[in-house]
């Protein structure tokens, strides 16, 4: 006897008229409030975003600062080429 493969897919948890993908897509379109990500997925993504923010901040602090407009105080304009 074969066993059904485990899946985290929402499609298997929904009971609709038929098991056809087209029907599931239609149901999902008609009921957007019932279609949500799993708590596990949401927690995973939140953790990834936090890690990404920490790494970005570390990169910014570690990098050297450069003078964007070093001659801002001088009376020098780019159009003045004489």
Q: Provide the 8-state DSSP code for 11.
A: G
Q: Is residue 16 one of the residues assigned to a domain?
A: yes
Q: Is residue 68 one of the residues assigned to a domain?
A: no
Q: What is the pTM of this model?
A: 0.44
Straight-line distance from the first to the last Cα atom of the chain, in angstroms, rounded to the nearest whole number: 89
Q: What is the DSSP string of 13-68?
A: G---SS--HHHHHHHHHH-TTT----HHHHHHHHHHHHHHHHHHHHHHHHSPP--S
Residues 62-82 have pLDDT tens digits of 888 888 888 876 555 556 555
Domain that holds residue 26: 3-60
Maximum Cα–Cα distance across the chain: 89
Q: Is residue 42 one of the residues assigned to a domain?
A: yes
Q: Is residue 71 one of the residues assigned to a domain?
A: no
Q: Is residue 69 one of the residues assigned to a domain?
A: no
Residues 3-12 have pLDDT tens digits of 766 666 666 6
Give the span between the Cα atoms of 24 and 32, in whole angstroms. Answer: 12
Q: Is residue 53 one of the residues assigned to a domain?
A: yes
Domain count, the chain: 1
Q: Which two tokens stand for residue 46?
A: 């939140």
Q: Is residue 27 one of the residues assigned to a domain?
A: yes
């Amino acid at each position: 006897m074969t066993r059904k493969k485990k899946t985290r897919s929402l499609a298997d948890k929904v009971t609709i008229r038929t098991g056809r993908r087209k029907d599931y897509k239609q149901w999902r379109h008609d009921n957007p409030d019932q279609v949500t990500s799993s708590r596990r997925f949401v927690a995973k993504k939140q953790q990834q975003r936090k890690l990404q923010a920490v790494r970005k901040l570390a990169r910014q602090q570690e990098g050297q600062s450069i003078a964007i407009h070093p001659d801002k105080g001088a009376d020098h304009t780019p159009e003045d080429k004489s």
